[in-house]
Amino acid sequence: MSASIKDVALHAGVSVGTVSNVMNHPSRVSNDTVAKVQRAISALGFVRNDAARQLRAGESKTIAMMVFDAANPFFTDIARGAEDAAAKDGFSVILANTSESSTRELGYLDLFEEQRVRGILISPYGEVEDRLQALKKFGIPSVLVDRVSNSQVFSSVSVDDVAGGHIAASHLLSLGRRTLGFVGGPLEIPQVGDRLVGAQQAASEYQECSLRVFETTATTVLEGRRIGEAIAAMEPKERPNGLFAANDLVALGLLQALVAANHLDVPRDIALVGYDDIDFATSAIVPLTSIRQPSQLIGETALEILAEEALDPTKPPQKVVFQPELVIRASA
């Protein structure tokens, strides 16, 4: 059984209040007493429970961040930006990965309520705004990351994914590609759906242009490879000559499959555009053209807004939308 603050006081021959002062206000205690208490702490292996203290005081320094795919470097870059901003304000960030599971997502929200975190940064997978509303009434604010609030009740920091999809498809069309394919899914994920909408808008601006959807079960390299193998096996007249992937992981899987097919060349036969511009995009066997999002800036901005709302719950919600940009490399 771990030592308590009472055990430390008894071992040092001082009061519990004196031990508390040594840990929180050492300037109020003599140097000899500080040394005596520290020796007792060391001898007993006492570890102070800041979490419990903060729960009692209602002043947790912990920010929870929840994403639906922590394997995607885009989200780890967002987390890095949030951590950098949190450190400046004296907060720490814990990261939770829902793995595209609504059940796990709700479970983490219950846990964060129990732990009384100071606030939540969330890239939602399911519809959770009612749950977030209840947490807000309980004193735990939330900021949506890479997603706009449906109810306009919550602050959000996102990128215009419809514009990003339009930019990606327009680039392929500018290269003379008229048989396009969109690869990504599930389409219920708002970011994926918005990117498809943007691509469809761009395709509608050109005559004799088609856009076929190849839906994936997840936005992963393996799913991209599966679809890429299917596309490589298609008859040339049926095969798209321009592909837009919902993210760079899917694009890298597509690229692996197309290159492995031997009879296809990227970009000669099939031009390929990804989304997110993760670090791996530059080092692919064919460097990947991609739509860049300011991932770290998204994390920093979201954390700053959350910190403001934690200090002043009456602040009106903010909506920050960044614009994506095209990064051209060898794949398209």
- CATH assignment of the domain containing 238: 3.40.50.2300
Residue with tokens 């209602």: 58
Whether residues 284 and 169 fall in one domain: yes
Q: Are strands 155-159 and 179-184 parallel, antiparallel or unpaired?
A: unpaired
Spatial strand order of the sheet with 210-215 comes to 210-215, 179-184, 242-245, 271-276, 289-292, 325-327
**How many domains would you assign to the chain?**
3
- Give the pLDDT confidence score for residue 203 in this predicted structure: 97
| Domain assignment of residue 201, yes or no | yes
Q: What is the pLDDT of residues 132-170, one digit of tens each?
A: 999 998 889 999 999 888 778 899 999 999 999 999 999
Domain residues for the domain of 129 are: 56-159+295-322
Do residues 246 and 274 make contact, with C-beta atoms less than 8 angstroms apart?
A: no
Which distant-in-sequence residues (6+ apart) come within 8 Å of 130 by Cβ?
Answer: none
Q: What is the pLDDT of residues 265-291, one digit of tens each?
A: 999 999 999 999 999 999 999 999 999
In a domain, 330, yes or no: no
**pLDDT, mean of residues 163-185:** 98
Q: What are phi and psi of 288, to 5 degrees?
A: -95, 125
Which pLDDT score is estimated for 2? 65
Task: Please determine, for residue 54, whether its predicted confidence score (pLDDT) is greater than 60.
Answer: no
Residue 312 counted as domain residue? yes
Residue 332 lies in a domain: no
Contact 113, 135 (CB under 8 A): yes
SS (H, E, C) the chain: CCCCHHHHHHHHCCCHHHHHHHHHCHHHCCHHHHHHHHHHHHHHCCCCCHHHHHHHHCCCCEEEEEECCCCCHHHHHHHHHHHHHHHHCCCEEEEEECCCCHHHHHHHHHHHHHHCCCEEEECCCCCCHHHHHHHHHCCCCEEEECCCCCCCCCEEEEECHHHHHHHHHHHHHHCCCCEEEEEECCCCCHHHHHHHHHHHHHHHCCCCCEEEEEECCCCCHHHHHHHHHHHHCCCCCCCCCEEEECCHHHHHHHHHHHHHCCCCCCCCCCEEEEEECCHHHCCCCCCCEEEECCHHHHHHHHHHHHHHHHHCCCCCCCEEEECCEEECCCCC
Of 42-56, 79-93, 232-246, 295-309, which range is least confident? 42-56
Confidence bin at 50 (pLDDT 50/70/90): low
Is-contact 119 304, C-beta < 8 A?
Answer: no
| 154 and 166 fall within a common domain | no
Give pLDDT, residue 4: 82
Query: How far, in Å, CA of 326 to CA of 315, rounded?
Result: 35
Whether residues 185 and 281 share a domain: the answer is: yes
Is residue 314 in some structural domain? yes
Indicate whether 199 and 219 sit together in one domain: yes
Residue 240 covered by a domain: yes
Query: pLDDT-based confidence at 56, cuts 50/70/90?
Result: very low
307: in domain:
yes
Shared domain for 233 and 270, answered yes or no, is yes
Q: Is the pLDDT of residue 125 over 60?
A: yes
Same domain, 185 and 279: yes
pLDDT tops 80 at residue 52: no
pLDDT confidence band for 19 (50 / 70 / 90): confident
Written as six digits, the tokens of 188 are: 């219920």
Least confident of 44-48, 199-203, 241-245: 44-48
Are 194 and 210 in a shared domain?
A: yes
If you average pLDDT over residues 116-125, what whole number do you get? 93
What count of other Cβ atoms lies within 10 Å of the Cβ of residue 328? 11
Residue 331 pLDDT greater than 90, yes or no: yes
pLDDT of res. 206: 93
- Within a domain: 239: yes
Which pLDDT belongs to residue 100? 86
pLDDT at 45: 79
Residues 6 or more apart in contact with residue 276 via CB below 8 angstroms: 72, 73, 74, 247, 248, 290, 291, 292, 293, 295
Q: What is the pTM of this model?
A: 0.80
pLDDT over 90 percentage in the chain? 73
Roughly what angle, to the nearest 10 degrees, separates helices 221-232 and 248-260?
40
Are residues 225 and 176 part of one domain?
yes
Neighbour-count burial of 322, counting CB atoms closer than 10 A to its CB (0-12 exposed, 13-18 middle, 19+ buried): middle
Q: Are residues 38 and 128 in the same domain?
A: no
pLDDT tens digits, 210-251: 999 999 999 999 999 999 999 999 999 999 999 999 999 999
Cα dist from 245 to 6, 7, 227, 303, whole Å:
60, 60, 11, 29
Both structure tokens of 311: 């200090």
Q: How far apart are CA 11 and CA 166, in angstroms?
A: 69
Q: Are residues 133 and 211 in the same domain?
A: no
What is the sign, positive or negative, of the torsion defined by CA atoms of 115, 118, 120, 121? negative
Q: Name the domain boundary from 13, 32, 48.
A: 48
Please indicate, yes or no, whether residues 189 and 234 belong to a single structural domain of this protein: yes
Tell me the mean pLDDT in the region 94-103.
Answer: 92
pLDDT at 55: 47
d(CA 196, CA 185): 10
* 171 and 188 fall within a common domain: yes
